[in-house]
Structure 1
Amino acid sequence: MQIRFDNRVALVTGAAQGLGRAIATALAESGATVHLADIDAAGVAETAKAIGATPHVVDLATPEAASALIAEIVAKSGKLDLMVHAAGGVRGQVGRPIEAISEADWRVIFAANVDAAFFLAQAAAPVMRQSGYGRIVTISSGAGLRPSLTGIQAYASAKHALVGLTKQLAWEFGPHGITVNSVAPGFVRSNPATERQWESYGPEGQKRLIEGIHTRRLGTPADIAAATLFFLSEQAGWITGQVLSVDGGRS
């Protein structure tokens, strides 16, 4: 099965590094016209230069920012067919007791992982409905499907919310030719934050983690990108509201 995106316009958020960069790269290599969004100006510019994409430096935590981004993409490329929300993450919040989580800590996780996804879908919906076509993929997490690590209360809650949003949008957008699905990665060493997390486990913790994975290996950004591109493809046109765990069988 060959997946191509010639004449398709795509947006990937969180594209400065990690999974977002891998997904954007795979889309560009498959023929898409790619727009990138991230708050990391240097990182998103580096990705854009490497793959021939258009960078946008933006914080998507407000509806105004999301609306302006979608309008800018449509003005430049004429449409928006594919959208991947890969921004988010733990924002450095790992392994803390619930008493240590401030309101600001809680809200910044939801802003990045859930609010931005909602505001982007809200802004993109009229564009995709008008064309009668769209593919939206959210990057959630195994933590959004079941309890996993101790001390990631805000992150796990936000990813559960993102899964719920994905399913609701699939129901609402389906009649308009728009599919909405989610990829839930297992542990992938994709950026400095995940590298620090991996190192924190120590040799024994790393060994236990790998032994709990059916395939006995960690995932790679390319593994996540491949699953995402399938959901974005023509071949996945009758698949919506689904969450695909890409975790080597750990779930």
Structure 2
Amino acid sequence: MKKYIVFGASQGLGDAFVRGLPDKGDHVWVISRRRPDNLDLDDGIYRTWIQADLSKEDAASIIIDSLREETLDVLIYNVGIWEKEGFEDHYNFDNDAPADIANIIHVNITATITCIQALLPNLRQSEAGKIILIGSTAGLDHTNNDQVSFVASKYGLRGIASALREHVRKDGIAVTCINPGELAAEIPFEEGADKAISKYNGTRIPVQDIVALVKCVVSLSKAACVKEIHVPAITDLNA
């Protein structure tokens, strides 16, 4: 039996992790602001909701108070917000409000650091602990994204993974950063990859592909550490 904690688990890729990653008998702690529908599944997997708003400074303490001394085998940090209309053609960084910039950095970087820091004692109890951070190809070189705060935070996530990997190396905890391109995140996991491929003509990555990658990483022995995986859509010439 494995014990997972999944951040950002109410919809999209996070919901797909909660549905598709664990096996019967596993336990998943589901972190989100709103109660997700995946808690209602009856498939032999134990799911526990922890309501936490990662934009608030008390998020880490709320999560720790709920988990207490539970062992964690796998932590998946799948959280990322971006600029308002950041992916629209008319988006302009000049118009970003300082408060919005600060919130992006807090949720995408500060909360990542503080929540993982708080959960290290739980992960150290595992025989082969794994931390998996979900980044973005926006955090790679030469991808032509102009959302300054979002891109900065995704570069920062890679830095977190790199330094954290060294910090927990002595504990036998492997740290992996996965950088997907644009996902077909609004196509529910249970509707299958073919629907996502058909709707977007292969230009967006089905969430099932990322779930499959994480399954592979989780299945590896404690002797292995996958440092980083980049997963652009095959049609993306900028990644």
TM-score (normalizing by structure 1): 0.78
Determine helix, strand or coil for the equivalent of 2:168.
Answer: helix
Q: Give matches, 1:137-148, under 5 Å.
A: 137-148=132-143
Deviation (angstroms), 1:166: 0.6
Question: Given the alignment, which residue of 208, 212, 223 partners 1:226?
Answer: 212
What letter is aligned with 2:232?
D
Q: Is the 8 A contact 2:179 2:231 kept in 1?
A: yes
Q: Give CA deviations for 1:141-177 in whole Å, capped at 9, x if unaligned.
A: 0001124354411111100000110111011111101
- Using the alignment, how far apart are the partners of 2:17 and 2:146 within structure 1? 28
Q: Give matches, 1:27-176, under 5 Å.
A: 27-29=21-23, 31-39=25-33, 41-42=34-35, 44=36, 46-50=37-41, 52-62=46-56, 64-74=58-68, 78-90=70-82, 92-94=84-86, 95=88, 96-131=91-126, 133-176=128-171
- Unaligned 5+ segments in structure 2 are 188-198
Query: Compared with structure 1, are the counterparts of its residues 101 and 190 closer, same or farther at alpha carbon in structure 2 (3 Å cutoff)?
Result: same
Query: Compared with structure 1, are the counterparts of its residues 222 and 180 closer, same or farther at alpha carbon in structure 2 (3 Å cutoff)?
Result: same
Determine helix, strand or coil for the equivalent of 1:28.
Answer: coil
Determine helix, strand or coil for the equivalent of 1:138.
Answer: strand
Equivalent position of 1:200 in the other structure = none
- Using the alignment, how far apart are the partners of 1:150 and 1:247 within structure 2? 14
Query: Compared with structure 1, are the counterparts of its residues 93 and 231 closer, same or farther at alpha carbon in structure 2 (3 Å cutoff)?
Result: farther
> Which piece of structure 1 moves more, 125-134 or 177-186?
125-134
Q: Is the 8 A contact 1:133 1:178 kept in 2?
A: yes
Deviation (angstroms), 1:30: 5.9
- Using the alignment, how far apart are the partners of 2:24 and 2:84 within structure 1? 33
Query: Compared with structure 1, are the counterparts of its residues 133 and 148 closer, same or farther at alpha carbon in structure 2 (3 Å cutoff)?
Result: same
- Unaligned 5+ segments in structure 1 are 1-6, 193-205, 211-215
Q: Is the 8 A contact 2:71 2:125 kept in 1?
A: no
Percent of aligned pairs with the same amino acid: 24
Q: Is the 8 A contact 1:12 1:86 kept in 2?
A: yes
What letter is aligned with 1:49?
D
Query: Compared with structure 1, are the counterparts of its residues 217 and 151 closer, same or farther at alpha carbon in structure 2 (3 Å cutoff)?
Result: closer
Equivalent position of 1:183 in the other structure = 178
